[in-house]
Structure 1
């Protein structure tokens, strides 16, 4: 082995370590950016086709959560389903919901991911479903679940398209919406 080969070995090793650190540092920083609080709002359509109800209306939502890593978050939110008209009875259905869900994400690319969520929601109706005798206010707790796609524009802003189902007693209320998410 020549002297010139020995003197290059430390230089090559130093360059290899420097390139390795440079490659790992952005990944570690990106992992830190995937954790933290987020909040957002959405608008879309609520849909019901149960009993005497077959209608849709504009719906709004607000949500917030904590992203533990790029694969898991906990999220709480509020959804106002609007006013859904009945075709069989003389009362309209006005519904809202507060929910808590676990969100599992699968990244497809750096900016695009899919997610599924499931949890419980506390719903409130200001008139009962036709399945319940009488015309009174009603509330309860039932499961909710949904799927969506998220496109991240940068580290703080993402657009989500989501389809969720909210079970209400023996009925299903669906919500299709676009949401903006802001990470802190």
Structure 2
């Protein structure tokens, strides 16, 4: 089964679950925004490196269990194992976010969607088109702790597919609800 069919089925399941619970959760809705910092990592082809990464994001929480989120991630500069060109990568993404509250303040979430990635140069030896930009799936999981109704900290691990390579991003994020 292709990764696009798997992603489509996962998004459908998240949407269906959120719709089923939506009538019960009139509270916990609204816009939010935030920023994160952490570490990007690639271990594909000639590249096996890590660098500091940053992200900004914003979204709308439709109910306690479902939201949509858009964001930008800068993966930093990733160097090849051997001589070669360093790789700078970034991504703009849109994801559906399914949230599972464990308590009033602590929850887990999963997100899946699509991203538009951009590289400053094509990855040598990568199967595919060899382009320096494209559209592929992205997905991730995280934990969130809400300190107040307006502020939460998140720990998130995401994967951004770039043709046949995977860029991973682990970060700590601050979220502000409006």
Report the TM-score when normalising by structure 1.
Answer: 0.80
Whole-angstrom distance in 2 between the partners of 1:171 and 1:75:
23
Q: Secondary structure at the match of 2:75?
A: strand
**Residue pair 2:126, 2:165 contacting (<8 A) in 1 also:** no
Alpha-carbon offset, residue 169 of structure 1: 0.4
The structure with more radius of gyration: 1
The alignment covers a number of residue pairs equal to: 152
Q: Secondary structure at the match of 1:44?
A: strand
Q: In structure 2, what is the equivalent of residue 16 of structure 1? A: none
Alpha-carbon offset, residue 130 of structure 1: 1.9
Match of 1:59 among 35, 49, 53: 53
Whole-angstrom distance in 2 between the partners of 1:131 and 1:76:
31
Q: In structure 1, what is the equivalent of residue 62 of structure 2? A: 68
Report the TM-score when normalising by structure 2.
Answer: 0.82
Question: Is structure 2 residue 95 aligned with structure 1 residue 101?
Answer: yes
Q: In structure 1, what is the equivalent of residue 35 of structure 2? A: 41
Q: Could you list the per-position Cα deviations for residues 115-164 of structure 1 after superposition, in whole angstroms to 9, with x for gaps in the alignment?
A: 0000000000001112249xx86100000000000000010000000000
Q: Which runs of 5+ in 1 are unaligned?
A: 1-29
Please report the RMSD computed on the Cα atoms of aligned residues, expressed in angstroms: 1.5
Question: Is structure 2 residue 161 aligned with structure 1 residue 167?
Answer: yes
Q: In structure 2, what is the equivalent of residue 88 of structure 1? A: 82
Whole-angstrom distance in 2 between the partners of 1:154 and 1:131:
48
**Residue pair 1:89, 1:130 contacting (<8 A) in 2 also:** no
